[in-house]
Amino acid sequence: MSRPLSATEQVSTLRDQIRAHDHAYYVLDQPRISDAEYDHLFRQLQQLEAEHPDLVTPDSPTQRVGGAPLTQFPEVTHRVPMLSLANAFSENEVEGFDRRICELLGVDSVDYTAEPKLDGLAVSLSYEAGLLVQAATRGDGQSGEDVTSNVRTILSVPLRLNPAAPDLLQVRGEIVMPFAGFELLNQQQTAAGEKPFVNPRNAAAGSLRQLDPRVTATRPLAFLAYGIGDLSGALPETQFDLLQQLRLWGLPVSPLVARVTGIAACMDYYARLGQRRAGLPYAIDGVVYKVDRIAQQQKLGAVSRAPRWALAHKFPAEEAETVVNQIDVQVGRTGAVTPVARLRPVFVGGVTVTSATLHNQDEIRRKDLRVGDTVVVRRAGDVIPEVVRVVTARRPAEAVPFVMPENCPVCGAGLTQAEGEAVLRCPDGLACPAQLHRTLTHFASRKAMDIDGLGDKLIEQLVATGMVRTLADLYHLKPPQLASLDRMAEKSAENLFQALRASRQTTLPRFIFALGIRNVGEATALALARYFRTLDALMEADLDELERVADVGPVVAASLREFFQEPDNRRVIGELLAAGIRWPEMPVQPEEASPLAGKTIVLTGSFSLPRTELKARLQSAGARVSGSVSAQTDFLVVGEKPGSKLERAKTLDVVIVTEAQLVELIATPGGADQTSV
Ligand code: IVH
């Protein structure tokens, strides 16, 4: 009596099957079929949907990657603020936390949920009628960025929850990049001539902030839920039950969460998790204790931006012992010569460390570091690995003190040392292949001239063969020359040639940044271009004039002056312009034309104009729009139903204006300085 299933039924069955397998894999961590079987189901669904496009729905497992690339992320105001956590670094501090809680609640002992503190970035996922409708970053806790299209590509984020889930659910959790995926991504980055990410958290953040969701889709991200912002219906009685509930509704929760009673059990959990830390698939940087009973949490409330009922007990920065195999000296883009310890590879702080910066000769002397020494290296957060101390007891007899060379290890020029500076420099500029190499890498980089395909390996060859001796040489390379390089086929040579041609059309801020002037980063380059509007004006400016630019102090001004006075640099600039580099004229100087130039503005509440529109108008008037009120804020613009930013602005005496007043200000030249509200 069985009739063939209709396409609608087949699609629905396949989706249910795929969702059930996703749940088994990502939430329960118990895959029930092989990858090949899963792929087969997925392809069947894709094929059916291709034959019946009308059956495609946004929550179909095939529809994770979609939507056009954005130019910026829209802002999202969190209905319930995303709080942060108070930190503790010692047992004493944890005891103090527990004591305060017991006193405030008038009890002898409290139950806690102990959870790993995941080292990624916080997001808030909103589900309506079981469907994922929005994903936002934490931002300043009050408002963040709408990263829905990117979060949809993360396979452990369900697009649809189990039917038992409440109608409205705002889940809070962490997006992480597991170590395995992180290592692989960095290998790919290096192979493509891109800079590797320093740690999984940065990689996760960078991946989530891609404007094109197709890029995020290729990144190995995962999500783990640890709480809620809001939900319709009854709240479970405890944090632990809430987490179990989230899991039942289809959300992944760390399997390491536990309910513990009293402070001794907290410490025990901390010690046990600390031991397992290095073997976990993703980075954690501590334990979070949360008062388990929600009623008790509500009684305790929050102070400033953190709940009184939760505490992050951080792990100490990870340290490990290894051996210094060798000390190399590296020559940076600006000629700075730095000693670097080459280490026997050691896994610490979530990554394999093979070298550590030694800063300068004084530092090596102070630590009395020698080649062959056993050392303790530390890696904390984003910080470059460092040598903490030498284990002198294990020093081999033949270890000799290290002496910095007197000449550049690459070009042989005598090193110089400026007065009052610890660092030695190679004075040879672009005549030194090391500096030329680094200068070219910077020049070609994405935020500078953005020369697609000109990676590190190619630059190395261009420098070694002498095909490129100065920046402008890049623009005289012809396809046959490029094709003569290792690993370059005719087609890729042609592509690179075209990329070089295309890069000649640039912008003034990019060009200034690309020159690689010491102390001039992307933001300073932009400020300079806006202020001077032409390269000639910038090149001729004296120190006083340079210091008039916002963010330019005496050090930056001196770097600029020194750079533009150097005849070699002026020659290189002339050659680049002669090679066809050009840019559109800079718009009229906001500093004079716009009253809001250089002002820091914060918005609160809702406005008659869409927020993004208002923000764009303010930015084009030269203002900086910030998410949170601080002593640096010039104005708070208040719309309908303002949030807590208004109170904060009042306590900080920040000028408060309405939307109408703001529109008037944009229209009045010099108006902002006359305002007193
Ligand atoms: S709860 C109401 N639980 O830590 C408390 N946060 O330092 C809000 N984090 O922004 C956070 N693991 O990104 C909580 N198990 C966990 C966590 C966790 C990591 C992060 C989260 C938060 C930051 C605060």
Convert the pLDDT of each residue in 170-200 to its tens digit: 999 999 999 999 999 999 988 888 888 878 9
Q: Which residues contact 520 (CB under 8 A, 6 or more apart)?
A: 512, 513, 528, 556, 559, 560
pLDDT band at 676 (very low <50, low <70, confident <90, very high): very low
Cα of 376 from ligand 1 centre, angstroms: 30
Question: Mutate which of 82, 83, 84, 85 to test ligand 1's pocket (most atoms within 8 Å of Cβ)?
Answer: 85
Q: Tell me the average pLDDT across 455-463.
A: 92
Q: Is the CB of 174 under 6 A from ligand 1?
A: yes
- pLDDT over threshold 60, residue 668: no
* Residue 376 near residue 384 (C-beta atoms within 8 A): no
457 is catalytic: no
Q: Ligand 1: which atom is nearest the Cα of residue 87? A: 7
Q: Given a cut of 90, is residue 4 above it in pLDDT?
A: no
pLDDT tier at 59 (50, 70, 90 boundaries)?
very high
**409 CA to centre of ligand 1 in angstroms:** 47
Evaluate: CB of 118 within 6 angstroms of ligand 1.
Answer: yes
pLDDT at 646 over 50: yes
Decide which of 664 and 184 is more confident.
184
Q: Say which residue, 381 or 502, is predicted with more confidence.
A: 502
Average pLDDT over residues 261-290: 94
- Going from the Cα of 107 to the center of ligand 1, the distance in angstroms, rounded, reads 26
Closest protein CA for atom 2 of ligand 1: 83
Average pLDDT over residues 407-433: 89
Averaged over 603-623, what is the pLDDT? Answer: 76
Q: Is 632 in a helix, a strand, or coil? A: coil
Instruction: For tokens 């340079």, name the residue.
Output: 546
Give the atom of ligand 1 at the shortest distance from the alpha carbon of 121: 13
Pocket test for ligand 1, best of 78, 80, 83, 84 (most atoms within 8 A of CB): 84
Query: What is the pLDDT averaged over residues 571-581?
Result: 95
Say if strands 635-638 and 600-604 run parallel, antiparallel, or are unpaired: parallel
310 lines ligand 1 (CB under 6 A): yes
Nearest CA to ligand 1 atom 17: 117
* pLDDT at residue 293 greater than cutoff 70: yes
| CA–CA separation, 401 and 224 (whole Å) | 49
| Cβ atoms of residues 311 and 254 within 8 Å | no
**593 band by pLDDT with thresholds 50, 70 and 90:** low
CA-based nearest residue to 132, from 251, 217, 277, 263: 251
Rounded Cα–Cα distance for residues 7 and 67 (Å): 26
In percent, the amount of the chain with pLDDT more than 90 equals 65
| Encoded amino acid at 507, one letter | T
Asked if residue 159 lies in contact with residue 87, where contact means CB atoms within 8 angstroms, the answer is no
CB 225 less than 6 A from any atom of ligand 1? no
pLDDT digits (tens, 9 = 90+) for 540-555: 999 999 988 877 888 9
Residue 150's H or E segment, with its range, is helix 148-151
User: Which pLDDT value is given to residue 62?
Assistant: 94
Token couple for 448: 């500078």
Please check whether residue 331 is in contact with residue 340, taking contact to mean a CB–CB distance below 8 angstroms.
no
Angle between helices 659-667 and 611-620 (to 10 degrees): 30
Report the chain's terminal Cα–Cα distance, integer Å. Answer: 80
Task: Say yes or no: CB of residue 273 within 6 Å of ligand 1.
Answer: no
- Residues 6 or more apart whose CB falls under 8 angstroms from that of 374 comprise 321, 322, 323, 390, 391, 394, 395
Å from CA of 71 to ligand 1 middle:
29
66-98 tens-digit pLDDT: 877 888 899 999 999 999 999 998 999 999 999
Q: How far is the CA of 311 from the centre of ligand 1 (A)?
A: 9
Closest residue to atom 11 of ligand 1, CA basis? 84
Residue carrying the six token digits 């070219």: 440
Task: Report the pLDDT averaged over residues 650-666.
Answer: 79
CB of 373 closer than 6 A to ligand 1? no
Centre of ligand 1 from the C-alpha of residue 257, in Å = 13
Model confidence, pTM: 0.59
Q: How far apart are CA 170 and CA 158, in angstroms?
A: 13
- Which atom of ligand 1 approaches the CA of 302 most closely? 2
Name the pLDDT band for 532 (thresholds 50, 70, 90). Answer: very high
Q: Confirm or reject: Cβ of 185 under 6 Å from ligand 1.
A: no
Active-site choice (117, 314, 599, 615): 117
Residue 83 CB–ligand 1 contact under 6 Å: yes
Is the CB of 138 within 6 Å of ligand 1? yes
Tell me how far the alpha carbon of residue 267 lies from the centroid of ligand 1, in angstroms.
Answer: 19
Closest atom of ligand 1 to 119 CA is 19
Distance 105 CA to ligand 1 centre (A): 23
Residue whose Cα lies nearest atom 18 of ligand 1: it is 117
Q: Is 122 in the pocket of ligand 1 (CB under 6 A)?
A: yes
Mean pLDDT over the full length of the chain? 90
Q: Which residue has the higher pLDDT, 293 or 279?
A: 293
173 lines ligand 1 (CB under 6 A): no
Q: Where are the alpha helices (DSSP H) in 579-658?
A: 590-593, 611-620, 645-651
Band (670; pLDDT cuts 50, 70, 90): very low
Instruction: Identify the pLDDT of residue 669.
Output: 47
Protein residue with its CA nearest to atom 14 in ligand 1: 226
Examine the pLDDT at 7 and tell me if it is beyond 90: yes
Decide whether any atom of ligand 1 lies within 6 Å of the 257 Cβ: no
pLDDT in tens, 341-367: 999 998 887 678 899 988 888 889 999
User: Given a cut of 60, is residue 534 above it in pLDDT?
Assistant: yes
CA 309–ligand 1 middle distance (angstroms)? 12
> How many angstroms does the Cα of residue 227 sit away from the middle of ligand 1?
9
Q: Which residue's CA is the nearest one to ligand 1's atom 22?
A: 84
pLDDT at 612: 67
